[in-house]
Structure 1
Amino acid sequence: MELLKFLLFICLMTGACALETQSHLKISRNGYQLLVVAVHDSVPDNPALFEKIKTTFTKASKVLYTATRNRAYFQKIFFLLPNTWTNRPEYKPSTSVTISGADIIFSAPRSTRRNFSHTRMYAGCGHQGFHTQLLTDIFSNSHPLVQSSPEKFIVHEFAKLRYGVFEEYSSPGENQFYFSTTYGRLDPVRCTVGLRGVIKNGQAFCLFSSIDPETGEFPPGCTYIPYPFRASGTASMMDHQYVREIKDFCDDDQTPGHFSHNVEPPNRQNRLCSHRSTWDIISNTPDFLNNANPPGSLSDSQLTPQFIVFRAPSRRRRRLAVVLDPPQEFHKRLRLHQAVDHFLTEGFDDETKVAIITNAAHRKGTRMRSRRSAAVKSSLQSIDQFYSLSTMRSRIRRGIEILKKRNSTKEGMEFHLIVISCNNQSGFETEVLQEMATTGITPHFIHCGENGIENMEKIRLQGGHAESRNQRSIFYAVQRLSDKLHDEKDVSVQISNENIELDGDTAYHSEFSLDDSLRGELTIRLHYSTSEPSVQVVAPNGSECIYKSTDRKLRYIRLTSLVSHNEQGKWSITIKNKTPNKESINVLVMLQPIISEDEVPIRTNAWVKVFHEHSPPRVGVYAEVMNGGHPVVNANVTAHVYHEDRKVAVIPLRDSGGGFDIMKNDGIYSNSFTEIESQGRHYVEVMIEDVLTNSEIHRTYELQLPTEKDTEDDQHDLHAPRLDYHTEKIPLRHRLKRSTSSGEFHVDHRWDSLSGGYDYPPARINDLTVTRVNRKDRKVSLSWTAPGSDLDNGRASSYEIRYNTNGTALVLNPKKGMLVKEDMLGDTSGKPKEAGQVETVTVQFPAKMKWVAIMLRSIDENNNAGEFSNMVTTYFVL
């Protein structure tokens, strides 16, 4: 318990928990603190492996210190071991450190939910990612990306996670070679030319004379294989970092003899980060900007991390004190009580104890009870009772007293104070938060009033959930809180969450689909306002859902059904208003899944990111659709943005790899919100509905190709084995439907003066590619994803295409490149397509050009130009 209190206090004092990632990671005086490394329960108990992991992180701390030029190392690492591992005296029990909040997760190599090592990112280029997933086979010397240096691979992935940089070698499915305008030949995709290697096909070398004059490519099977040593220069950690000489990140130092960042190759770092070097990105993150954490001089012993080892409890024993501050209006108070009943009824196990606190003076009715007890139900059914606004502080104090009284060191015990306020209370006082931090109580605050939440950031820093919502979204708010309080395997899947207005003597008919990944207990809750409607739910096989209960005091109907494989598909629901008066109804459909290692449901998550480095700030809206560790692609995802009770925008979210979406088919769908004329708090609800059944699960597996060497006698020149990937595409037989929400975001009134009348430029194009080259006629066909007139929305007015024979010069100053004029364009309508669609154009370049580098940008109707795209190169004559 003392260690748990210390952890919570440190998190509060250091500001360590990122909002988008649930990470506790923080840097202070060059040291990264509270790095959480979790071992997935697919890894069998193995003390020797665990010792190797700790040894590797000790080495990685020194590697990171060197790579960041003596600016950062791992100071304190929290390990979380699964409860399937044997308990040992040195392991501390934990409920606050969870795998969902881990920065790095180790899984078994053949775990069906995580099949290759990678870092999950959504923004990049200086912005922190979600987490890093590593397979324990990285500790095998034969792994292609490790090569007996797992500590360097960990730093390579940590740089992606923390700093948002990308690989500088070719990614799976991308060309390993590009045309270098600097050297006038094909060259391997790499950060610096100092990274040496060979181009081979099996045992045979691939010569430049073997390049196909039509395709401009080496024969099939030719691949670039770096030497594991003998590199010239020490960069880059993002490009085959296992090479012995590599110890730095690529920079922009142009000193003669220094192998600096190569801006030409079409790797992810260049393509997504405007051809900036990795060190330029890293040194401009908050960790190091403005001389934060300046270079030091630490010894090896000082660079050795402190390890604190936790073990997940075999079961969780939750104690919840729920403090209510409902609104005065009866219909709003009713919705709140319905939402809290839903929160407590669905999902929690019978170990959970609850106290409902509506009046601090009623002490007899506020002791801990079973969540299903008659006393808890009675408290929620007493909708008409009087709530004194003046006693809110005392209610919070009463909740803390109850939790402190029940405090225990028993394994798995956790204590949560949940406040839901729709009136005068707008947060926790600082001294109250400090008291809860030192007593192991996690604070949570949901606000449905007009004001924001005080100390919201501190609440989140203590591991709590803090969220503002309008009244119509209260069910989303309690669902997000429920998700936070549960392990992934226990979280219910929300199919839909609808608010409907039903006129008198009318019926509402709707359909929802249960896709292939869903199996378990289906629950449908109808929360009505005045008079009980009739409801009929019909399964795909034509049978009716017959398990029904009604709570007439809380005014809801609950229907349940066990769903097996033969009940997946289209369900229908019919609701009839039997009175002449209008009725407001909330319809909530969810499923508590049955989970195994081989069978997990498709889950969704949504969030909003405000990019303050732009002027005015840009708002990115994101939704994740995943099946375990595998992305679901081709889903139809839309974000509905509300300001107060008014819907201000419906935004299509795309997984196209263009604009705000940095990676195609990674299961993260994104777009921008540009309707900033509505100022103040905004809420986002995300709907996933695959009407045409186009959704696919993409399961990717590592494929290791054998080690190769130059000759039988040249044993010291062994080349690294190569890594490839195989993606299995699994189409869904039934329609995919989900509903989720993000937290709030604020549109500041000052954005108006920064935006020049709310006029955003088009988004940057980051997926420009060459699709075909007619070398004889010097015609180059280009393709890219169309941006909009306002970032990723609408339709741009025109494109500006620039070219140069020197790629580096074009990147450094695109405006000085030559302009592609209209008479150089081939088949094109001249009018850009709608945002998200694929653009194609053919450009005929002047005679006598040997090669060319190309960039472009889009321009809107007000002549606002976006940033220039990534650069592509090709040649006509060698």
Structure 2
Amino acid sequence: MYIIDMVQEASKYLFTASQKRFYFKDVKILIPVTWATNPIYGRPQTESYSEANVIIAAPYVKYGNDPYTLQYGGCGEEGRYIHLTPDFLTDDAFLPIYGPRERVLVHEWAHLRWGVYDEYNEDKPFYFAPDKSFEYTRCSVDITGVVAECKDPQCSGIKPCEVDQATGSPTEKCQFFPDKKQRTTSSIMFFQGLNAIIEFCNSKSHNEEAPNMQNKMCKSKSVWEVIEQSKDFKASKPMSDSVPPRTTFTYLQGGNRIVCLVLDVSSSMSASQRKDRLRQAAELFILQIIETGSQLGIVQFNSAASTLRELTTITDYASRTALTKYLPNLASGGTSICSGIRKAFEVFRKLNSQINGNEIVLLTDGEDGTVGSCVNEVQTSGTIIHTIALGPSAAKELETMSNITGGLQFSATDSLDSNGLIDAFAGISARDGNTSNQALQLESAGKNIPGNSWLNGTVSIDRTVGNDTFFVVTWQAAKPTISVFSPTGIDYSGSFVEDTALKVSRLKIPGTAEAGNWHYHILNINSAAQTLTMTVTSRPASVNDPPVTVNAHMNADSADAKTPIKVYAEVSKGYLPVLRATVTAFIESNTNNQELRLLDNGAGADAIKNDGVYSGYFINFSGNGRYSLKVKVQGGEKVTRLSDRKGTRAYYNPGYYVDGKIEKNPDKPSVPEEDLQTNLGNFTRTTIGGVFVVTGSPPGSQPPVFPPCQITDLDANIKDEKVFLRWTAPGEIMDQGTAAKYEIRMSTTYQDLKDQFDNATVVNTSNLVPLEAGNMELFSFKPEDITIENGTIIYFAARAGSKSSDMAEVSNIAQAQMVLPYIPAVPDPNPNPNPGTPDKPGSVNITTLVLAITCSIAGICIIASISMCIVKKNQRARTAPAV
């Protein structure tokens, strides 16, 4: 009953924390397909592992039980998912560390739903307060506790903290032990585990000077202020009831995929080799992408629809090959998208009258004025529709079909060298979380090659993949000469199987492909230029070693060309981030292609450094229409590495201060470096990231000019009466190019700099020449108007300017202080019997955060992953009632 109890209690806690606005009304729990079936389990509709709010799965490495939320975006932007481990749910040893599970869930839900951030800081646990003392980073400062070092591992005694002579701040051994009993009621986003904490920090209790992520990302706003700006808050009112309604739970369990290809064969498909490209891409999907055990049907449509193949179970490669013979090869007539969808429904219902959760892959290149006639039918069917818009005239309603059914959406232009149609079909894998059975795209390359010239490339196959590895070459006119060599020099050139009618050659590597760099060479023997493409896919080599995966997307699926689009690529192995990879986004519209370097440096569009999420701004809009995203990732030998999870994870409480003694929790276990230094070797990945649609940008209009992006990592220090500043350089336009200038201002008062930046003292930057975006700027100077002495505090903020004098937003505020020796008092062995007294010797005040949750009819989808199934496999009889 772990999940049920946690959510029901979390709903009550959320109701209180949100001032009776929000609670969990409906929760859907997706049971792993590997678990035994049960009559009470329904069939999922749009619910999937990849779209889950909460994922319950074992960590990839030992000791990784920190609850966390993966957040990509900025303040107020929703996160991706919450990750909880089975050990966290079942082992009560974690309760003193994180607090009650239901409270942890509410803490993480605030991250996920409202885009707020933590109010502690593991990297900078102390800061210099205006009263010239070091404060523990927290919110609110009314939270009391003791700052001290333990004399031994059990903390049977404590002693004053040692001081770092370089900074004057406490060393890493210094810890904050909160009083177990508190008088303040906030904040949940600092540490929800204290019994008294039942609120989020608000404008009155917020500690805006604390150097935490909430202040950095949200411009020093309190959590409650951010929540008040959410669409949930604006659409809700406080309830009159003293307790929320009980949560309703629904149990769902999927099965093998049931998919129908619904393919446009109207006359317009004869243009730009669309018909042939459709057959090439659909064949790749059938032979290489869709999972064994799935059922697949094929429908074609023009003015009417017909069934080419009823649902057929894919059992082996022969059954896949047989299905490809039913792909359409003629094109004529008009376009009736609804006819194709309804015919797919007929195909599904021949198997089962319940078609919810089945998938349609809908491809069309034409407009259809009647497509709106089946929208309601589609929505009520429970079927998932993945859409592929081919060419510039595909129906504008396609994205609506995907959005209302929870499907994926792709677009492909008529540019043959982009390989876009094949990439779209390659991106339609199962979304059940079982990466051990999924095909991964390693390479997607295409180019218009002159006569008697070569297309050369290298594909890095790492040890985590290698099964069912295919090299696929397509051509436009004449069959080229193809050579493929393994890392040890084995020549596979004679092993390709050719289909000259379809203009495809395919190589299947037997067994598990050799790890290392594979080289291919494709010679255009034609006298005229033609487009050649190479696509490489592979499946994981072992169920026990998760592969490196890439998840790419944008922060919006529509734009007005007046606001930059944020592009993200999450690179991970299991649940661990992959660092130091080279990540490039390719954004294609019907008029041009653009490249964009994505970085994981915690600057510009990137929220958190070294979290495995690589980010960048897309700003070069070229008119209205669809823009598709493709991302390529390259990992280098002994360069790319793993990392433990950074960012928004639950606070690890080292212990409590109770009646003059420390109730010590176990030290936080560190992830062994050898687990993180796993040699990933060279690897390549390619993934498709969906579509965004641009409106409000007339053809021929000048693209908007954006200012430099905001500096978010300004840091300041004082040494030998000089100030040293550092930050990541923004660009001339957002995070691209080189800014023209910097404006830096300072003040001895935090509030003055925050509220009146333009009136603060200007720092002379005449000798500061900006570096290209992404580089680290270093700047030092000696203040002329401020006397630096022991205890001096100076606050700094900065912004970049462009050549046209467009100025960026003001940066985060950085604090620098002159070294001040710091020796905190050891608590009195006979302390004031009231543990909430704020002036207790050695105590440190900490503040509140006011948290609220989604809307009053909040619903979340909790997914027990395949990995959880494995962990709980031998305890199923005891855990069955919980799910």
Q: Shorter-chain TM-score category? A: 0.7 to 0.9
Tell me how far 1:596 sits from its aligned partner: 1.7
Please point out which of 835, 842, 848 is paired with 2:773. 835
Cα shift readout 1:61-90 (whole Å, capped 9, x = no counterpart): 111112122211100001122244444443
Specify whether residues 751 and 696 from structure 1 end up closer, same or farther in structure 2 by C-alpha distance, changes over 3 A only: farther
User: Match for residue 837 of structure 2?
Assistant: none
Residues 361-400 of structure 1 aligned to structure 2 (within 5 Å):
365-369=308-312, 372=319, 376-380=323-327, 383=329, 385-389=330-334, 393-400=338-345
Matched, 1:571 2:521: no
User: What amino acid is aligned across from residue 482 of structure 1 in structure 2?
Assistant: S
User: What amino acid is aligned across from residue 772 of structure 2 in structure 1?
Assistant: E
User: Match for residue 841 of structure 2?
Assistant: none
Which range is displaced more, 682-691 or 119-128?
682-691
8 A contact 2:708–2:733 mirrored in 1 = yes
Residues 84-103 of structure 1 aligned to structure 2 (within 5 Å):
84-94=34-44, 96-103=46-53
Q: SS where residue 250 of structure 1 aligns?
A: coil
Tell me how far 1:269 sits from its aligned partner: 0.8
User: Match for residue 241 of structure 1?
Assistant: 192
Please point out which of 144, 147, 170 is paired with 1:196. 144
Please point out which of 580, 589, 613 is paired with 1:668. 613
Specify whether residues 656 and 606 from structure 1 end up closer, same or farther in structure 2 by C-alpha distance, changes over 3 A only: same
> Separation in 1 of the partners of 2:61 and 2:637?
31
Specify whether residues 403 and 221 from structure 1 end up closer, same or farther in structure 2 by C-alpha distance, changes over 3 A only: same
Please point out which of 236, 240, 247 is paired with 1:305. 247
> Separation in 1 of the partners of 2:70 and 2:709?
23
Please point out which of 725, 734, 743 is paired with 1:800. 743
Cα shift readout 1:433-458 (whole Å, capped 9, x = no counterpart): 33244444333321113245316235
Matched, 1:746 2:696: no
User: Match for residue 227 of structure 1?
Assistant: 179
Tell me how far 1:336 sits from its aligned partner: 1.4
Cα shift readout 1:442-476 (whole Å, capped 9, x = no counterpart): 33321113245316235322122333331341112
8 A contact 1:705–1:724 mirrored in 2 = no
User: Match for residue 176 of structure 1?
Assistant: 125
User: Match for residue 121 of structure 1?
Assistant: 71
Cα shift readout 1:726-763 (whole Å, capped 9, x = no counterpart): 4633264632222223222233335999x997221111
User: What amino acid is aligned across from residue 196 of structure 1 in structure 2?
Assistant: T
Specify whether residues 508 and 468 from structure 1 end up closer, same or farther in structure 2 by C-alpha distance, changes over 3 A only: closer
TM-score by length of 1: 0.83
Residues 397-416 of structure 1 aligned to structure 2 (within 5 Å):
397-408=342-353, 414-416=357-359
> Separation in 2 of the partners of 1:342 and 1:56?
44
Which range is displaced more, 719-728 or 336-345?
719-728
Matched, 1:684 2:684: no
Please point out which of 325, 329, 336 is paired with 2:265. 325
> Separation in 2 of the partners of 1:505 and 1:141?
69
TM-score by length of 2: 0.83
Specify whether residues 674 and 708 from structure 1 end up closer, same or farther in structure 2 by C-alpha distance, changes over 3 A only: closer
Please point out which of 756, 761, 770 is paired with 1:813. 756
8 A contact 1:514–1:737 mirrored in 2 = yes
Residues 424-435 of structure 1 aligned to structure 2 (within 5 Å):
424-425=367-368, 429-435=371-377
Matched, 1:216 2:154: no
> Separation in 1 of the partners of 2:337 and 2:597?
42
User: Match for residue 293 of structure 1?
Assistant: 236
Specify whether residues 527 and 637 from structure 1 end up closer, same or farther in structure 2 by C-alpha distance, changes over 3 A only: same
> Separation in 2 of the partners of 1:59 and 1:362?
51
User: Match for residue 635 of structure 1?
Assistant: 581
Please point out which of 634, 637, 641 is paired with 1:696. 641
Percent identity among equivalent residues? 26
Please point out which of 259, 268, 271 is paired with 2:213. 268
Matched, 1:478 2:425: yes
Matched, 1:779 2:722: yes
> Separation in 2 of the partners of 1:806 and 1:614?
40
User: Match for residue 830 of structure 2?
Assistant: none
Tell me how far 1:96 sits from its aligned partner: 4.5
Unaligned 5+ runs, structure 2? 152-156, 821-883
Q: SS where residue 153 of structure 1 aligns?
A: helix
Q: SS where residue 108 of structure 2 aligns?
A: helix
Please point out which of 71, 95, 105 is paired with 2:55. 105
Cα RMSD between the aligned structures? 3.2
User: Match for residue 709 of structure 2?
Assistant: 763
Q: SS where residue 13 of structure 2 aligns?
A: helix
User: What amino acid is aligned across from residue 581 of structure 1 in structure 2?
Assistant: A
Unaligned 5+ runs, structure 1? 1-50, 254-259, 824-828
8 A contact 1:704–1:723 mirrored in 2 = no
Q: SS where residue 592 of structure 1 aligns?
A: strand
Aligned length: 793
Which range is displaced more, 850-859 or 625-634?
850-859
Tell me how far 1:555 sits from its aligned partner: 1.8
Q: SS where residue 275 of structure 2 aligns?
A: helix
User: Match for residue 850 of structure 2?
Assistant: none
Matched, 1:583 2:533: no
Residues 433-582 of structure 1 aligned to structure 2 (within 5 Å):
433-451=375-393, 452-454=395-397, 456-472=399-415, 473-482=420-429, 484=431, 487-545=434-492, 547-562=495-510, 564=512, 567-582=514-529
User: What amino acid is aligned across from residue 217 of structure 2 in structure 1?
Assistant: L
Q: SS where residue 326 of structure 2 aligns?
A: helix
Cα shift readout 1:519-572 (whole Å, capped 9, x = no counterpart): 32210111222222221211011112254322222221110114648x211111
8 A contact 1:319–1:416 mirrored in 2 = yes
8 A contact 1:469–1:683 mirrored in 2 = yes
8 A contact 1:611–1:619 mirrored in 2 = no
Q: SS where residue 288 of structure 1 aligns?
A: helix
Q: SS where residue 718 of structure 1 aligns?
A: strand
User: Match for residue 135 of structure 1?
Assistant: 85
Cα shift readout 1:574-602 (whole Å, capped 9, x = no counterpart): 222333233222211111223323x1111
Q: SS where residue 118 of structure 2 aligns?
A: coil
Cα shift readout 1:228-287 (whole Å, capped 9, x = no counterpart): 322x3211110011111111111112xxxxxx1111111111112211111111111111
User: What amino acid is aligned across from residue 569 of structure 1 in structure 2?
Assistant: G
Please point out which of 827, 847, 868 is paired with 2:787. 847
User: Match for residue 361 of structure 2?
Assistant: 418
8 A contact 2:95–2:101 mirrored in 1 = no
